[in-house]
Chain A
Amino acid sequence: MIFYATQRFVLSVVIVMVAVSILTLMLHVVPGDPAVMILGPRATPELIEQTRVAMGLDQPLPVQIVTFFGNILRGDLGQDVFTGRAVSQIVFEQLPYTLILITVSILWAAVLGIALGCYSALRRNTWLDTLTGVISVGTISIPSFVMALYSVLLFAVWLRWLPAIGAGEGVWDGVTHLILPSFAIGVSWVGYVARIVRASMLEVMGQPHVRMARAYGLPDGWITRSHILKIAVQPAVTLIGTGVAHLFSAAVFVEVIFARPGIGALIVQAVNERNYPIVLGAVLVTTGIIVLATLISDLVIAWLDPRQREEL
């Protein structure tokens, strides 16, 4: 297990380095001069050139990439070209908002999705199973930005039950500001998780160890929790682990629509402004989180399933 975890960690570092290197290459291929964006239209060509040199943009691309990783080892992600603030400070200021948003979104979606999937599987081919299926497919097909727009119009503009924008201040205010965005992101995941858990449960319910447990007269609830759900939930855990990247993408739209702070909105803005240090710093951190989430989901599955644990 320790060897497996170490191996996965090294692989994760390589993935992050490759992702950031590719991104650096792409940033330099697309047109747009960050020095012009920073200094505005009235800067002299001499001042623009000085700024490019100060930013290291006059250096060959491989040198820029090596310098970037060298700085990371010293804990330096660079400086925001507009405000002069440390990139690490900006990124870690925004990151908690996105992490809280996607964590809450996926948590409520997973709890509801697992419950619905379970219920459907245990009552398969009933009208409630059909209804759950319709709801699941329906929520999967609604994009999160559409859900965000309509939920804000309904609950904030029309009913005025919840705030329309921002992240709020304090715990209670923060919670009220989180409800609509996390609903918008999580709702399609309810359907995904429910469908996967249902299919997986039906498969596990037909396996010999479950039939054996029933033959021994063990209680249904105990069989479901200990022998079915523990195995059936594994594909959903994998889905959630690999779906973190998708959640970050959904967060971009939702952060813009709800004018919430967050790393998604930060990256979009930085790309438009050609604010390279912010783009690189933010992508480095999000790539790291996505890789880490995948790693954690693999470890959780190994923990849930003794067969997989033994193979490690």
Chain B
Amino acid sequence: MTKQTNTKTPGIGRRAFLRGATATGIAAATMPLGSRIWAQSGKVLRVSSYADIDALDPGFYQNGYNVDVMNCIYSKLVRYVPGREWDWELEAAEEIEQVDDTHIRFKLKPGIMFTGGYGEMTAEDVKFSFERVLEHDSPVKSDWGPLDHVEVTGTYEGTIVLKEPFQPLWSITLPYGTGHIVSKKAVMEATESGGNFGMEPPAFSGPYILKEWKPNQYVHLVRNPEWTGEAPGFDEIRILPMDDTKTAERAYEAGDLDYTEITLSSLAQYRGNVPADTVIEEYPSLYYVWLGMNLDNPALGDENLRKAIQYAINAEQIIDAAYFGEAAPATGLIAPGLPGHRETPSVPVAGDLDKAREYLEAAGGPPSEPLTIDALNATVWKTMAEVIQAQLAQIGIQTQINVQDSGSFWTLGMESEGERWKDMQLVLNRFSMLPDPYYATSWFVTDQVGVWNWERFSSEEFDTLHQQALSETDGETRAEMYRKMQELMEASGAYKFITHEGTPVMYREGLEPALRPDGRPLFIDFKGDV
């Protein structure tokens, strides 16, 4: 059993990436395509997913569970390397180089074929795949930030041209969802305009193809017979959607799965009683959980009151109660291992009751009416809210907990949803994250007030830093910018960071799972015997 390791790296800068990419590229280039043998045959991998797929067009994707499948059926220029530290390697690209701040030159590996007779992957396909995200106003066009165009300079060669530098390109654009390359010819035939092809991919270019999707039952991937690259570890992959992770745990114990994520609440139990032939591993997650305070609500208008709340909350106690002590406390938005992660927050993780009382006294005492805490209607959130309620009661602040279903909760602070945001006071929130700090801070800029910035935090300095950090090429300077931004958030009194949670997984002995540093699976690289 492997214990959780919180890797501490400054993140992967452009130079580090290029060093790694060059080395990997040389290795890949010396291995002729088509000459590699299939690793194993007749093997089926059965895994769970927390939701069923609902978008297979990488230009218009939503949610990680769709990308888990896309990783297997399409190719990208670069991809994440499985392991404990964030890193990238070449996939469809034979070479890739950032020639200056706004130009990235690439050369595709020859011989990558699209299925269905759509021929070889060329730079024209790369251009089409990336530019259509902007042309068709995709909801995820922000992944491509300031993309201007892709210049095709040869059959396999091209240059990605940006309007301005955009650092997240290397960490969340090229190796993730919108970085996947589709066949121009196939998509144009399927859609006429090159728009969203939804759930019907017209051609595949990865080591697997989608053989069958039975909604709410399984996604069945089989080896792509036209794939000429390195052989995948399994002949077939069956991905079974299960909204409830506890169901997946039972399915694993019954022998119906080879790999699954498990809940933090089950982790301690499994540690004490490991299922037969099973390995349990823990990975730190990138999610961030915090208690937010609506700065525009009159009851929370006094900064001293907000600080009293910040200091009264003990994140360790919350983690003990809601996560059975199995998650690490958060020091900010940005998880360990990413640029901008802070070692310590300004407000201590365990809080400080004496200081909380001082702030409360400065605020003139507790509010006359109980404050509300909004939370999702799942056990973990209710537990967290109850602990916070008890902690605030210690300094005399009374609260009332409102739990809501996900549909109601996720529009709580949105101005487009009417006046509800005005009544919102304290809110327990959790956002997902991609491995670049920009993805976290982008929700808290002034433009996001009333959209996803429910605390209605607005800071000119924060906005400026957010914009500057996008194009900052020096890794340490950029990291410092993000640390400063988190300090500004905390100083506003509107945030108490709680945890990044964790991603425990279990799998059969003999299986060699390939996981990102945040525990997300890269099924394409799973190997071994099950």
Contacts and interface: CB of A to CB of B under 8 A. Distances in A.
Contacts of B420: 31
B142 interface: yes
A7 interface: no
B300 to A, nearest CB: 21
Interface stretch (B82-90, B119-127, B239-247, B487-495): B239-247
Nearest to A156: B254
Interface string B234-268: 00000011111001101101111000000000000
Contacts of B55: 82-83
Contacts of B451: 45
Interface stretch (A69-77, A128-136, A158-166): A158-166
Interface in A125-171: 152-153, 156-157, 160, 163-167
B468 interface: no
B142 A164 contact: no
B137 interface: yes
A219 interface: no
A164 B218 CA distance: 15
A36 B247 CA distance: 28
Given A30-B407, A165-B247, A165-B251, A36 B215 contact: no
Contacts of A31: 404, 407-408, 411-412, 417-418, 420
Contact of B254 (A30, A33, A44, A157): A157
A221 B141 CA distance: 76
Identify which of B214, B217, B248, B255 gathers the most chain A CB atoms within 10 Å of its CB. Answer: B217
B54 interface: yes
Given A43-B139, A257-B247, A272-B405, A36 B255 contact: no
Interface size class of B (residues with CB under 8 A): 35 or more
B23 interface: no
Contacts of A93: 215
B247 A48 contact: no
A87 to B, nearest CB: 12
A20 to B, nearest CB: 19
A82 B54 contact: yes
Given A40-B63, A42-B139, A47-B137, A165 B256 contact: yes
B443 interface: yes
A157 B242 CA distance: 17
Contact of A259 (B214, B242, B404, B443): B242
Interface in B391-450: 404-408, 410-412, 414, 416-418, 420, 443
Contact of B414 (A33, A40, A164): A33
A274 B407 CA distance: 6
Contact of B199 (A84, A160, A258): A84
Contacts of A271: 405, 407
Given A48-B416, A257-B247, A41 B411 contact: no
Contacts of A38: 62
Given A48-B416, A83-B199, A261-B214, A160 B411 contact: no
B166 to A, nearest CB: 15
A269 interface: yes
Given A37-B407, A94-B216, A152 B199 contact: no
A261 B55 CA distance: 19
B376 to A, nearest CB: 11
A117 B255 CA distance: 39
Contacts of A45: 416, 451
A65 B337 CA distance: 51
Contacts of B248: 259
Given A165-B251, A166-B217, A36 B54 contact: no
Given A41-B443, A84-B199, A160-B255, A261 B139 contact: no
A274 B54 CA distance: 15
A33 B416 contact: yes
B410 A164 contact: no
Interface in A256-286: 256-259, 261-262, 265-266, 269, 271-274
B380 interface: no
A55 B31 CA distance: 51
A66 to B, nearest CB: 25
Q: Which of B55, B244, B254, B412 has the most CB of A within 10 A?
A: B254
Residue in A94, A259, A272 with the greatest tally of chain B CB atoms within 10 Å: A259
A266 B451 CA distance: 28
Contacts of B410: 32, 36-37
A39 B405 CA distance: 19
Nearest to A271: B407
A179 to B, nearest CB: 13
A160 to B, nearest CB: 6
Interface string B193-221: 00000110000000000000011111000
B253 A157 contact: yes
B482 interface: no
A299 interface: no
A289 B320 CA distance: 47
A262 B140 CA distance: 31
Given A83-B54, A257-B247, A266-B216, A41 B452 contact: yes
B411 A156 contact: no
A152 B410 CA distance: 33
Interface in B262-287: none
A41 B410 CA distance: 10
Given A156-B254, A163-B256, A32 B240 contact: no
A261 to B, nearest CB: 4
Interface of A: 30-33, 36-45, 47-48, 82-85, 90, 93-94, 152-153, 156-157, 160, 163-167, 256-259, 261-262, 265-266, 269, 271-274
12 contacts: A30-B408, A33-B414, A39-B62, A41-B443, A45-B416, A47-B139, A82-B55, A85-B199, A153-B250, A256-B243, A265-B243, A271-B407
Given A39-B62, A41-B443, A157-B250, 4 more contacts: A164-B250, A165-B250, A256-B243, A272-B406
Interface of B: 54-55, 62-63, 137, 139-143, 198-199, 214-218, 240-244, 247-248, 250-251, 253-256, 404-408, 410-412, 414, 416-418, 420, 443, 451-452
| The 5 nearest A-B residue pairs measured at CB | A32-B407, A164-B254, A43-B139, A82-B54, A156-B254
